[in-house]
Amino acid sequence: MSSAVQPVTLYVGRSAADPVDLDVKHSGLRMVLVGREAIGVLGAEWRTLGVYFLLGPAADPDHFRAYVGEVGKGTLFARLQAHVKQKQWWNRALLIASASDAFTSADIGWLEGRLYDVLNNAVAAELMNGNRPGDDSIDARERGVLEGYIEPIMAALRAVGAPPDTADQKPEPRGRRTPTRYGEGIRDLLEAGLLKPGTRLSALPQGISKTAEVLEDGSLLLDGARYPSVSAAATTAGPNETANGWTFWGAPSGDGSFVSLDRLRQRLRADDQRAVTPATLAPPTATLRPAGRRTKRGSPPRSSVTLRGLLDAGLLVAGEELEGHPSGVSSGAVVTADGQLETNGTRYRSISAAAVACGPWKTANGWTYWRVRRDGAPVALKALRDQLERDSRP
């Protein structure tokens, strides 16, 4: 990740209704933040091509809504006027144009898609676009030039209170780390919130312009084909017979760069070390075995542990009630005999989907969200899963 500080200067008017000009040094961009009611005061310099963000509040006060758009034909001014009539949820817009009016329609289309990819993986952003926009027709050399605009645009978003930060940018735990995960997959990164479904991964090796989409089940979609393994997708996308997908693929980071899947995997392992596992994990009817002894022959590896696996191991019992976390979310759930969760009258095969249904968020990690009472204390399902993994190792 980039560690450079981006100097952003804001030119603020006498009234809160006045547009705010943003100057990011040496960016080659013109940017302005304008309120929905103040579009009419924009000068003639915004009757030009460019990209823009519509920004507005979300139900979760820690989140914001965003729409990424482009104007390759017409003007930014006219497009905003149309959005005032068509979209009611936004209250301000960030407009971005070339300082020298050098952007072509293809340049703008590519920038739109690249900016969408960052916000689509951002923790606090709730994208209002129906589908991924963008124009990938430009060649690698032009993309390399346009990449230089991403970091200053991300700095501008932070400056106006719409942080594009992704999960990899969280402060890392300090101290000595000992990896506890083995055989991680994309699904583990999804459950930990380090990736979002729909994230568009890019090939990191120079000269390779392939991209792959992260699907909800943890597989990758590349050129219309699904790949269950990141390395299988990388081998197909690259020139070699074998490839390490964890170092081949990178996810868009909120600082404007790409972070490798291997870096996210390391972060996952570091975060695991911070988790505190309560001493008592099993329900009163279950007996925990010493670490290293199998609970059941053929216990699944970490990447395939399910709620049904916890039932089979005796770490949960059918009919047990789970409570949601964090506090303030009152919905609970009941474990069904077939390994599903029932909440608010609906059954969910995915514990994360059940968590999403109980709150205002678009994604949630069901393993840390749902908790069960043990000796009066709440215990996360993740702790039960970790216990099953320890007991299953030879």
Same domain, 150 and 74: yes
Does residue 1 sit within a domain? no
Does residue 320 sit within a domain? yes
Same domain, 248 and 340: no
Same domain, 153 and 196: no
Give the pLDDT band of residue 301 (cuts 50, 70, 90): very low
List the beta bridge partners of residue 71.
50
Dihedral of alpha carbons 380, 382, 383, 384, sign: positive
Does residue 296 sit within a domain? no
User: For residue 322, how far is the Cα from the chain centroid?
Assistant: 26
Same domain, 123 and 210: no
Same domain, 207 and 147: no
Same domain, 374 and 308: yes
Which of 158, 117, 132, 128 lies closest to 6, judged by CA? 158
Say whether pLDDT at 139 is over 70: yes
Say whether pLDDT at 11 is over 80: yes
The secondary structure of residue 32, as a DSSP letter, is: E
Same domain, 117 and 143: yes
Same domain, 42 and 156: yes
Same domain, 252 and 324: no
For 192-249, how does the pLDDT look when each residue is reduced to its tens digit (9 = 90+)? 889 999 999 999 998 888 999 999 889 999 999 999 989 999 999 998 878 899 999 9
Q: Structurally, how many domains does the chain consist of?
A: 3
Verdict on whether the full-model pTM lies above 0.75? no
Does residue 20 sit within a domain? yes
What range does the domain containing 44 cover?
Answer: 8-164
Same domain, 15 and 159: yes
